[in-house]
Structure 1
Amino acid sequence: MEKGNATSDFILLGIFKHTRPHLFLFMVVLTMAIASLTGNALMLLLIHLDPGLHRPMYFLLSQLSLMDMMLVSTIVPKMAADYLTCNRSISPTGCGLQIFVSLTLGGGESFLLAAMSYDCYVAVCHPLRYPVLLSWRLCFQMTLGSWLLGAADGLMQAAATLSFSFCSAHEIDHFFCEAPTLVRLACADTSLFENVMYICCVLMLLIPFSLIVTSYSLILSAVLQMRSQEAHKKAFATCSSHLAVVGLFYGAAIFIYMRPKSYRSANHDKVVSAFYTIFTPVLNPLIYSLRNNEVKEALKKCLGKCANFRCPQT
């Protein structure tokens, strides 16, 4: 098989075709992406403006919203432009940037969810010691660590992936540059890199997941010892939103990065990638806003202020 120029553009084959059903699906995806950006931006605005949300729990949630906004902004505009203009090329630099950003945000979100599970553990098991066990300093350190660990993984995998020589077709059967898909185009033995990448992804997922499981095991143990039904409801309300987000994130991530090669399918990968890059970011703010009374109260106050600003009393 011929080797292509390492500096030539790649071609993204995309997920949609120019048919009426696919045009409808494209409009649905675009609407979901806009809703995701709007919902996460609103969540960031509420957390910034409402003093009642100036707590470590909501700071971590604001970082989750920021990561979701960045992920959608990195993937969807290019996908939409490719579909509307039929110009599906992407430069190696642009491809590397997509790999770096998507892996940075994916890895960062994995560790951020672990930090949020610790927040749930402290809130349920040690509420009186919450300011000590989860100080602002520790909150900032966990957040910075999440970003740095994700960035290290993204930089390593993006650089290693683009170091290969690729076959002359340069066609990526995906709607954005994803490391596992791009590696399949390499005209070299990539087995060592794929094994290292697999181990790296497993560690990036399993280490935070182990922390999450440990936190919720301790939470469950504490809840079972509570005699008050009201305490049970409060503990469930504190952690249920986070558990839902964890389930969505890890379900998609495990499907994409931890399956054996023999079970991989390009169409399945594209559908699941669309789920975690577009649909999960729009679900996260909905889950937290619908199941969190403090966020709902902050939203009501914000809407009330907007209504008073538009309609001043005479």
Structure 2
Amino acid sequence: MAKKVLVAADVRGGRLRKVTYEMLAAAGRVADGGTIAVAILGHQVENLATGLGDFGADMVYVADAPQLQEYTPAAYRKVFLEVVRGFAPDVILFAHSAVGRDLAPMVAMRLGAGQVSDAVDVAMENGQIVFTRPIYAGKAFTKVVVREGVTVATLRPNNLEAASGGQGKSGTIQKVDVQLEPVDLSTTVREIVQKATGGVDLAEARIIVSGGRGVKSADGFKPLYELAEALGGAVGASRGACDAGYCDYALQIGQTGKVVTPDLYIACGISGAIQHLAGMSNSKVIVAINKDPEAPIFQVADYGIVGDLFEVVPKITEAVRQLKAQGV
């Protein structure tokens, strides 16, 4: 049965994050020939709507206003619900990001909809939309179905293949009239302080080099940054390394940090506590480097190197550089 699917675009730094295209791919799976719409909220974001039809969007709603420059719950909720009323979707997809995790439950509550959080896969089975999500810190997976009413779901980034271009849809763009009352602007963002974590967004990185307590100090992260730079990846860390003051909490990966699913995850000096595994165990390929052959990280690793990371990592970096110099 054809369905109407609304994708909440994930915007950061004036651009659409990759997870937006992953949600468009998911929308294509579940729409079953129905209509796919994208909602873009922000300020000076009209240009982002151009070309989304090529990725499967039939309609693009653009809510562009200075009051939406930064995310505030009440304002975004009101404007997004206006889009929902105009489009009347059967399914609403959000990214499982900071904004999506906050906005999705508010929207679901106002609509009386069923919500599925942190889905890593979406499929059609016997005419029903089936979401797969991890439970027990990633030790197991459960399949969830919303049997009636509107379905609201958040999708974990980097788990679904992004929609490819060339679909040839027109992608009709419709501007949303943003009218906000003082009560909708009760929260005001005065300043945003961002911690620099490198040139590659950790949540979207295809390659991550991560360090734990085994790096021993802040200077111990230097070889990891060099390897990440050689590979074109990002640097992450375990909570232990963050708690020890070796790096900023912006790098933390785990149950209380970021959840990542890169193509390659290199764990350096990380023991493999269950809290850390919850944030990276779904990586496609895991390489562990640790002096302790009994470290739990080796139980989830595809490849393991028992050795001193300060000896192993520089050798890997040099090998990568040599291969790149040869054009490999």
TM-score with structure 2 length normalisation? 0.21
Q: Which has the higher helix share?
A: 1
TM-score with structure 1 length normalisation? 0.22
Q: Which has the higher strand share?
A: 2
